[in-house]
Amino acid sequence: MPEKPDYPELEAARLNWRFTPADSCLAAKVILVTGASDGIGRALAKTYATFGAHVVLLGRTRAKLEVVFDWITTHTRTEPVIVPCELAALDEESGYALRDAIDDSFGRLDGIVHNASILGPKVPIAHYPAQQWQQVLQVNAFAPFLLTQVLLPVLEKSPNASIVMISSSVGRKGRAYWGAYAVSKFALEGLTEVLADEHSHAGKIRINSLNPGGTRTAMRRAAYPAEDPATLPNPEDRLDVALYLMTDSAIGVTGERFDARSWDGPVDDGKSEQ
Ligand SMILES: NC(=O)c1ccc[n+]([C@@H]2O[C@H](COP(=O)([O-])OP(=O)(O)OC[C@H]3O[C@@H](n4cnc5c(N)ncnc54)[C@H](OP(=O)(O)O)[C@@H]3O)[C@@H](O)[C@H]2O)c1
């Protein structure tokens, strides 16, 4: 690692990763992470910065984003940027402002992880409050569509860019009471397939979906209040897939569904073949 940052969770997780990243595998890449203030998004932001990326930290709570910003500036030589943004209120105007700010600061964008998401109520469809249905779809599915659309011009300035849609097992097989959350993840899976097909010929932008699997975060606690969090992996434990997808090792990998729990590592990685 470039700086030996004080990041014990990452150091421990790396021992079991199925991908062996070079310390500077993301050197100077510019990556936008939504929901970078907590949970999996915070771990992604810190990990990407540790491996050399300049991370655009998007989230709705400035104070929490500042904690991640401070960690990154203290522990790495990268230049993070904070973008406070309520995705429930995202519109074209704020999207264009973000695109221009990224273009002015970095001149390109090499990756996006659409990670921010809300759970919504876990109730049967018969009783699902319509307004909350709309809000979940807005944050989890409409915002990733709009952000991707407005940011395509800066992604196209990258020699090879990567978009990762953070999905869920209920976005691949629906289950009772997961309501709008499940439907929003099906939408992300669809967006992944359509976009990947549209960009398959040009080959400069790859788009994949990733199911992180049950992970020790606030969202998981809300979804399974009776579960003992100690039985769950840390966000860093399975970040190898999300890291791999941002590296040049994944150039050409597009339109695929990844599952962090069952991933065997990249086919050409020496470690995975042992
Ligand atoms: N944890 C799991 O077991 C699990 C399993 C499968 C899939 N996932 C997926 O993994 C991703 C991350 O989940 P997580 O467990 O890390 O969730 P989390 O701990 O609840 O964190 C969610 C992040 O998204 C941000 N966010 C939420 N609503 C937002 C909005 N309206 N505008 C801007 N930012 C918003 C939050 O910001 P604040 O901190 O300001 O609230 C936070 O940074 C999600 O897409 C989730 O669906 C998680």
| Residue 90 CA, closest ligand 1 atom number | 32
- Residue 209 alpha carbon to ligand 1 centre in Å: 15
81 is a domain residue:
yes
Residue 152 within a domain:
yes
Cβ–Cβ contacts within 10 Å for residue 104, how many? 8
Q: Domain count of the chain?
A: 1
Which residue type does 68 have? V
Domain range enclosing 130: 22-262
Written as six digits, the tokens of 32 are 């936008």
Non-local (6+) Cβ contacts of 183 within 8 A are: 137, 141, 174
In a domain, 10, yes or no: no
Residue ID of nearest Cα to ligand 1 atom 19 = 39
Which atom of ligand 1 sits closest to the CA of residue 219? 20
**CATH number for 49:** 3.40.50.720
The predicted pLDDT at position 6 comes to 87
The answer to whether 84 touches 59, Cβ cutoff 8 Å, is yes
For the cut 60, the answer to whether the pLDDT of residue 115 exceeds it is yes
Whether residue 3 is contained in a domain is answered as no
∠ Cα 234 47 167 (to 5°) = 60
Query: Does the structure show a pLDDT above 50 at 272?
Result: no
Query: How much is the mean pLDDT over the chain?
Result: 95
User: 80 and 58 in contact (C-beta within 8 Å)?
Assistant: no
Tens-digit pLDDT profile for residues 215-226? 999 999 999 999
**Within a domain: residue 270?**
no
Decide if 128 is catalytic: no
Q: Is residue 196 part of a domain?
A: yes
Is residue 4's pLDDT more than 70?
no
* Domain membership flag for residue 157: yes
Catalytic entry in 7, 48, 128, 181: 181
Average pLDDT over residues 145-161: 98
pLDDT band at 1 (very low <50, low <70, confident <90, very high): very low
Considering the chain, what percentage of its residues have pLDDT values greater than 70? 96
Residue 38 counted as domain residue = yes
Query: What is the tens place of the pLDDT at every residue in 154-166?
Result: 999 999 999 999 9
